[in-house]
Amino acid sequence: MSQQLAVGIDIGGTNTKFGIVDRRGNILCDGRMLTNQHEDVHGFLDELHEHLSVLIAQVGGIENIRGIGVGAPNGNFYTGNIEYAPNLRWKGIIPLAKLLGEKFGVPAILTNDANAAALGEFQYGAARSMRDFIVITLGTGVGSGIVANGQLIYGHDGFAGELGHCIVIPGGRYHPGTGAHGSLEAYASATGVTNTALEFLANRPDTQSILRDHSKEEINSKVIYEAAMKGDPLAVEVYEFTGKILGEALANFVMFSSPEAIILFGGLTKAGDMIMKPVREHMEKNLLPIFQNKVKLVFSELKESDAAILGASALAWEMKD
């Protein structure tokens, strides 16, 4: 059984993770390296090749590898390029899929990290039996990958699915990264949750909260989560507020593609029912009756530590023979 394995590579701002995956989503071996040690992308590729060659030898050589899938910030599926990624050292347009293909002698294919997450759910996760679903990644930023008619939606230029940048509160909170006012990411990201808590603390000086034991600088999504788990009412309300905005946004997304499920992934999902309850309530409230009580709202089934490699590897199964 040759070519029944795929390489998955997830390029993040700090770490690059890589692994070799079978069709069922078992990671046979994996590793990681720092992303930004090399000023030139060729230096990065040389180091990556060194690490991966050892793993590829372990699974019986390159003839067992069907292809290489890469999830990368600003990765464009159509061109195979990383285009102007703000968090990477290599500036401008990097033809990464082409360079990887030449280096390893197998086809390589690339997309952004949220699309890779959606393909991971499609191939190995909560969306295995679905043709229509949306994955929302709730981390430092808010990303999304949309599958309709059994295909990932790339849009005419490869940049579809930027749902984190939809305006949900016209004239609302400023997003310093984009200059937009009231985008979903300004509220439902880790930074958004932190800013909501800081606003609540500043606007309600008379409300007690264990968050007041921390300096402003110390308050982050982890501290807020721990306070909410201890029952701190203000911290709990931060999740209710965040969940309301996210739920209203999800209702709009349902009106677009009528998915069977919306799969939530990333840091914010650790809050469990504290976030899921208001999300579900406000999503349902904003849906037309024909959509109500039909859309499954679930957390990802993939282990967060494995998901990036799995998602990237799933791209390789998408390649035509």
Q: Which residues bind its own copies (CB under 8 A)?
A: 130-132, 146, 148-149, 151, 153-163, 165-170, 178, 180, 248, 251-253, 255-260, 286, 288, 290-291, 294
Residues 6 or more apart whose Cβ sits within 8 Å of residue 151: none
Residues 6 or more apart whose Cβ sits within 8 Å of residue 305: none
Report, in Å, the least distance between residue 165 CB and its own copies: 5
Closer residue to its own copies, CB minimum distance, 33 or 167:
167
Among 321, 301, 303, 228, CA closest to 271: 228
Closer residue to its own copies, CB minimum distance, 24 or 156:
156
Q: What is the DSSP track for 220-246?
A: -HHHHHHHHHTT-HHHHHHHHHHHHHH
Report, in Å, the least distance between residue 90 CB and its own copies: 18
Report, in Å, the least distance between residue 252 CB and its own copies: 4
Report, in Å, the least distance between residue 291 CB and its own copies: 7
Tokens found for residue 129? 């039996």
Closer residue to its own copies, CB minimum distance, 49 or 131:
131
Closer residue to its own copies, CB minimum distance, 162 or 301:
162
How, if at all, do strands 15-22 and 5-11 pair?
antiparallel
- In Å, what is the CA distance from 239 to each residue of 67, 72, 85, 199? 41, 29, 31, 13
Tokens found for residue 91? 């500036």
Do residues 9 and 104 lie in contact, with contact meaning Cβ atoms separated by under 8 Å?
Answer: no
Report, in Å, the least distance between residue 288 CB and its own copies: 5
Closer residue to its own copies, CB minimum distance, 19 or 145:
145
Among 271, 273, 311, CA closest to 109: 311
Closer residue to its own copies, CB minimum distance, 240 or 260:
260
Report, in Å, the least distance between residue 253 CB and its own copies: 7
Closer residue to its own copies, CB minimum distance, 179 or 205:
179
Q: Which residue has the tokens 């030898």?
A: 57
Among 277, 243, 283, CA closest to 262: 283
Residues 6 or more apart whose Cβ sits within 8 Å of residue 273: none
Report, in Å, the least distance between residue 289 CB and its own copies: 8
Do residues 229 and 272 lie in contact, with contact meaning Cβ atoms separated by under 8 Å?
Answer: no
